């Protein structure tokens, strides 16, 4: 799996580094309901930034304000260093966007759709238009159906065409609102690979999704919104670690045919909150072990999910725990730590599943 | 695809016209537009055949009744142009303009394509101007389609020749043709008011169908108001009030009074509703 190039997730940010800088952004709809409430957000240049939140948490409203489609009630947003929506004419040609799913002209072909959107951009050179459209179509794997009317496209094909429109020009920032929505697993993988490639070329990617796997796999940074407010932001690694605190290193999991003996031995070695179910024994490692310091580690997506954790220094060594079990005659089938995923972090933060906020 | 590529992009003023070209191409290749034009082309055919059957080719039709100029059609096919424009101007032409103008912004909003045009970035004022220009072009094309269809049918079914004007003077066929062209131009300009009205309605909603229905509904309402005698003080301000003044171009000398009032009224509607559309569209939150 190629790693995003974003490189310095832990580095301190200065204003000039930010691809998107939001401060105090607020949007009240008619009736006074706050869709977005005092949002502060910084998206570093070169990052792949995951924007998380339950449905109705204000993600799309935020994205629309960033793109100049909605006027904020209060606060300000700067995109690529310029104020939005004021500097839209200078900012938007450098931004590729996929907002709330694709929207196409059904009576035009795939190519026709791209040519029209490109014609709408006053900075796009008409002499290279056909060639650029062709390349964008190839990049998303639609070259073979470019001449078909998009009325006949499947949702996945429409989604790809939407991405192709975002790739018509070299962009400094890509804003992708749920880009893998409606795609089959193969298509999802391709899009993620594409996002990583683009990030590797230096494009900043702002990716909203409610698929936590996706954020974990692709993103270097993430922010979580709920009910119009920002709950947290930071590197994906730091986010999981900070939220999960001492248990950031995960729960000890032992599979054994002798659960009762295993519980006794582990208790003697300071493991707390022991639970056994069938042949599975789980428990929290003693706090002395401390959470592994993941905050400063360069974003290592893909390692946060269920993993057999290597252990840091301090506290009882996992290897010693295992030796103690075996020494006491406990037969061990499997042994390791189950690391909490971003999903755990998310549920803990928002205190809810993906139900619409009330 | 590196950042270095993005730097040397200097927009040229002419590139801004790309959207207008694309909009015109897209609109006039659309099946719906072609269907509207086909209906418009069909009206003169129906009128021509009806007149031919009714008179059986035996002398002029009975005086009075029917649309303007219809009694002269059998003598001179060119009059079918005037008759057809008089028949289509009250309803068919403005209705097709209403469909096009009503759908202009609302249709894009409904399909969601509006947000992608705006982040392209098309620019709200530019997009509105492009839509209005395309609708105006459709006014002209629609009118010319009626006129050309009528001229063709007229030439096929009836004799052509010198034209006797409403004031009794006779002019050559060539001059008659020129006057027909001028009338087509005036008819097209008569439709600009309703086009601006439709565009304004289109910025109010995110449903293309609702915008079309509202525009056509307004058109019918105004047409009815224009026939109620008790409202005569209001009527000079209704956009269709002077529409049929184009007949004054068939007088010698031409009566300019009503023609000028008509064009002035259309300009007024264009300014008022064009500004309203602009004010609304440039400040509106695009949530569709």
Predicted-complex ipTM score: 0.85
Residues of A in contact with B26 (CB under 8 A): 105, 108, 112, 116
Average pLDDT over residues A97-117: 92
Per the domain annotation, does B79 fall within a domain? yes
Q: Please, how many CA atoms are within 13 Å of residue B98, restricted to the half-sphere of its CB?
A: 20
CB contact under 8 A, B15 and A171: no
Res B197 pLDDT > 60: yes
Res A311 pLDDT > 60: no
- The DSSP 8-state label assigned to residue A3 in this structure reads P
Residue for token pair 């900070």: A242
CA distance A156 to A175: 18
Per the domain annotation, does B1 fall within a domain? no
Res B58 pLDDT > 60: no
Total residue count of chain B as it appears in this document? 288
Res B261 pLDDT > 60: yes
Select the residue of A94, A103, A112 nearest B111 (Cβ to Cβ): A103
Choice among A185-199, A298-312, B227-241 with the minimum mean pLDDT: A298-312
Average pLDDT over residues B238-244: 90
Res B3 pLDDT > 70: no
- pLDDT value of residue B251: 86
Res B126 pLDDT > 60: yes
**Are the C-beta atoms of B96 and B39 separated by less than 8 Å?**
yes
How high does pLDDT run on average in chain A? 79
Choice among A172-186, A243-257, B237-251 with the minimum mean pLDDT: A243-257
Q: Where does CATH 3.30.70 sit in chain A?
A: 251-339
Residues of B in contact with A116 (CB under 8 A): 22, 26
pLDDT bracket for residue A108 (50, 70, 90): very high
Residues 126-155 of A with CB under 8 A from B: 126, 129
- pLDDT value of residue B10: 61
Q: 3-state SS of B138-182?
A: HHHHHHHHHHHHHHHHHHHHCCCCCEECCCCCEECHHHHHHHHHH
Higher pLDDT, B57 or A189: A189
- Total number of domains constituting chain B: 1
Q: What angle do CA A290, A294, A299 make, to 5 degrees?
A: 165
- pLDDT value of residue B272: 96
- pLDDT value of residue A309: 39
- pLDDT value of residue B56: 63
CB-based contact, A164 to chain B, within 8 Å: no
- pLDDT value of residue A20: 93
Among residues B219, B201, B12, the alpha carbon closest in space to that of A127 is found at: B12
Q: CB A40: neighbour CB atoms within 10 A?
A: 14
pLDDT bracket for residue A293 (50, 70, 90): very low
Higher pLDDT, A231 or A21: A21
Average pLDDT over residues A345-353: 64
What does the buried/exposed string (b/e) look like for A176-197 if buried means 16 or more CB atoms within 10 Å of the residue's CB?
bbbbbbbbeeebbebbbebbbe
CB contact under 8 A, B115 and A103: yes
Higher pLDDT, A343 or B279: B279
Choice among A329-343, B21-35, B162-176, B221-235 with the minimum mean pLDDT: A329-343
**Are the C-beta atoms of A52 and A353 separated by less than 8 Å?**
no
- pLDDT value of residue A1: 39
CB contact under 8 A, B26 and A117: no
CB-based contact, A124 to chain B, within 8 Å: yes
Per the domain annotation, does B3 fall within a domain? no
Choice among A195-199, B67-71, B144-148, B255-259 with the minimum mean pLDDT: B67-71
With a pLDDT cut of 70, the percent of chain B lying above it is: 91
CB-based contact, A69 to chain B, within 8 Å: yes
Cα-Cα-Cα-Cα dihedral sign, residues B129, B131, B137, B143: negative
Among residues B179, B114, B113, the alpha carbon closest in space to that of B151 is found at: B179
**Burial class of residue B204 in the structure, from the number of CB atoms within 10 Å of its CB (0-12 exposed, 13-18 middle, 19+ buried):** middle
Please give, rounded to a whole number of angstroms, the shortest distance from the CA of A156 to a CA of chain B.
17
Type and span of the H or E element at A235: strand A229-235
Please give, rounded to a whole number of angstroms, the shortest distance from the CA of A67 to a CA of chain B.
6
Please give, rounded to a whole number of angstroms, the shortest distance from the CA of A26 to a CA of chain B.
14
Q: Where does CATH 3.40.50.300 sit in chain A?
A: 15-242
CB-based contact, A45 to chain B, within 8 Å: no
Per the domain annotation, does B9 fall within a domain? no
CA distance A193 to B7: 26
Residues 259-298 of A with CB under 8 A from B: none
Select the residue of A70, A100, A123 nearest B11 (Cβ to Cβ): A123
Domain range enclosing B275 = 17-283
pLDDT in tens, A212-242: 777 878 889 988 888 888 888 888 877 766 6
The third-level CATH classification (topology) of the domain covering A251-339 is: Alpha-Beta Plaits (3.30.70)
pLDDT bracket for residue B12 (50, 70, 90): low
Res B185 pLDDT > 90: yes
Residues of B in contact with A107 (CB under 8 A): 30-31
Mutation target among A68, A94, A120 for the B interface, most CBs of B within 10 A: A120
- The DSSP 8-state label assigned to residue B259 in this structure reads H
Res B288 pLDDT > 80: no
CB-based contact, A345 to chain B, within 8 Å: no
User: Is the previous residue joined to B121 through a cis bond, with omega within 30 degrees of 0?
Assistant: yes
CB contact under 8 A, A120 and B31: no
Type and span of the H or E element at A78: strand A74-79
- pLDDT value of residue A315: 54
Alpha carbon of residue A348 to chain centroid: 17
Choice among A107-116, B99-108, B156-165, B184-193 with the minimum mean pLDDT: B156-165
Residue for token pair 């040609």: A93
pLDDT bracket for residue A268 (50, 70, 90): confident
Average pLDDT over residues A184-188: 84
CA distance A149 to A104: 10
Residues of B in contact with A118 (CB under 8 A): 18, 120
CB contact under 8 A, B31 and A108: no
How high does pLDDT run on average in chain B? 88
CB-based contact, A198 to chain B, within 8 Å: yes
Residue for token pair 């055919």: B45
Compute the radius of gyration of chain A from its Cα atoms: 24
Average pLDDT over residues B117-143: 93
pLDDT bracket for residue B147 (50, 70, 90): very high
Res A312 pLDDT > 50: no
Res A291 pLDDT > 80: no
Q: Please, how many CA atoms are within 13 Å of residue A137, restricted to the half-sphere of its CB?
A: 20
Q: Please, how many CA atoms are within 13 Å of residue B227, restricted to the half-sphere of its CB?
A: 6
Global pTM reads 0.81
Per the domain annotation, does B163 fall within a domain? yes
Res A302 pLDDT > 70: no
Please give, rounded to a whole number of angstroms, the shortest distance from the CA of B28 to a CA of chain A.
12
pLDDT bracket for residue A295 (50, 70, 90): very low
CB contact under 8 A, B6 and A121: no
Select the residue of B26, B111, B283 nearest A116 (Cβ to Cβ): B26
Average pLDDT over residues B188-214: 94
pLDDT in tens, B64-117: 556 677 778 888 889 999 999 999 998 899 999 999 999 999 999 999 999 999
CB contact under 8 A, A69 and B119: yes
CB-based contact, B31 to chain A, within 8 Å: yes
CA distance A239 to A212: 13
Select the residue of B6, B122, B287 nearest A70 (Cβ to Cβ): B287
pLDDT bracket for residue A15 (50, 70, 90): very low
- pLDDT value of residue B196: 95
Res A308 pLDDT > 60: no
- pLDDT value of residue A210: 74
Cβ neighbours of residue A147 under 8 Å, at least 6 residues apart? A109, A110, A111
Please give, rounded to a whole number of angstroms, the shortest distance from the CA of A5 to a CA of chain B.
13
CATH of domain A15-242: 3.40.50.300
Res A57 pLDDT > 60: yes
Mutation target among B2, B12, B24, B119 for the A interface, most CBs of A within 10 A: B119
């Amino acid at each position: 799996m190629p790693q995003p190039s974003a490189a310095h997730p832990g580095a301190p940010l200065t204003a000039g580094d930010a691809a998107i800088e939001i401060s105090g952004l607020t949007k009240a709809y008619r009736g006074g309901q706050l869709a977005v409430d005092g949002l502060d957000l910084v998206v570093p240049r070169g990052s792949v930034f995951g924007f998380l939140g339950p449905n109705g948490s204000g993600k799309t409203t935020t994205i629309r304000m960033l793109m100049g489609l909605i006027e904020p009630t209060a606060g300000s947003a700067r995109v690529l260093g310029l104020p939005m929506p004021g500097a839209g004419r200078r900012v938007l040609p450098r931004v590729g966007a996929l907002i709330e799913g694709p929207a196409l002209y059904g009576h035009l072909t795939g190519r026709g759709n791209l040519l029209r959107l490109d014609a709408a951009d006053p900075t796009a050179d008409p002499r290279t238009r056909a060639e650029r459209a062709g390349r964008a179509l190839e990049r998303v794997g639609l070259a073979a159906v470019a001449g078909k009317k998009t009325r006949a496209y499947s949702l996945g094909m429409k989604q790809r065409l939407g991405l192709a429109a975002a790739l018509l020009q070299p962009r400094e920032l890509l804003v992708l609102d749920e880009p893998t929505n409606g795609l089959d697993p193969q298509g999802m993988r391709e899009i993620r690979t594409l996002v990583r490639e683009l990030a590797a070329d230096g494009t900043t990617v702002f990716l909203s999704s409610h698929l936590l796997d996706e954020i974990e796999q692709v993103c270097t940074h993430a922010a979580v919104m709920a009910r119009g407010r920002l709950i947290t932001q930071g590197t994906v690694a730091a986010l999981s670690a900070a939220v999960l605190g001492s248990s950031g290193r995960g729960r000890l999991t032992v599979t054994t045919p002798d659960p009762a003996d295993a519980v006794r031995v582990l208790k003697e070695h300071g493991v707390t909150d022991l639970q056994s179910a069938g042949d599975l024994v789980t428990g929290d490692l003693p706090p002395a072990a401390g959470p592994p310091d993941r905050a400063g580690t360069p974003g290592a997506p893909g390692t946060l999910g269920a993993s057999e954790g290597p252990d840091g220094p301090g506290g009882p060594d996992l290897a010693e725990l295992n030796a103690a079990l075996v020494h006491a005659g406990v037969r061990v089938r499997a042994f390791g730590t189950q690391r909490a995923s971003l999903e755990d972090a998310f549920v803990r933060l928002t205190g809810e599943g993906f139900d619409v906020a009330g | 695809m590196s950042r270095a590529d993005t730097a040397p992009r200097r927009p040229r003023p002419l590139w801004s016209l790309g959207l207008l070209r694309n909009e015109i191409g897209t609109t006039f290749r659309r099946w719906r537009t072609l269907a509207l034009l086909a209906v418009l082309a069909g009206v003169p055919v129906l009128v021509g055949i009806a007149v031919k059957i009714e008179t059986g080719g035996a002398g002029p039709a009975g005086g009075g009744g029917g649309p303007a100029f219809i009694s002269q059609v059998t003598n001179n096919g060119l009059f079918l142009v005037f008759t057809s424009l008089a028949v289509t101007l009250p309803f068919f032409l403005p209705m097709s303009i209403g469909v096009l103008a009503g759908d202009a912004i609302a249709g894009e909003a409904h399909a969601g394509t509006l947000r992608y045009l705006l982040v392209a970035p098309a620019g709200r004022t530019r997009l509105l101007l492009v839509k209005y220009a395309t609708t105006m072009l459709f006014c002209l094309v629609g009118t010319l389609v009626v006129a050309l269809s009528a001229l063709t049918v007229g030439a096929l079914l009836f004799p052509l020749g010198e034209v006797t004007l409403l004031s009794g003077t006779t002019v050559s066929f060539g001059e008659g043709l020129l006057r027909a062209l001028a009338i087509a131009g005036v008819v097209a300009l008569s439709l600009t008011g309703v086009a601006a009205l439709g565009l304004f309605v289109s910025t109010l909603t995110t449903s293309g169908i609702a915008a079309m229905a509202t525009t056509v509904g307004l058109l019918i309402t105004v047409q009815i108001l224009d026939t109620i005698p008790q409202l005569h003080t209001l009527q000079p301000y209704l956009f269709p009030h002077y529409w049929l003044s184009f007949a004054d171009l068939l007088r010698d000398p031409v009566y300019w009074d009503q023609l000028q009032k008509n064009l002035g009224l259309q300009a007024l509607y264009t300014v008022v509703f064009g500004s309203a559309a602009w004010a609304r569209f440039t400040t509106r939150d695009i949530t569709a």
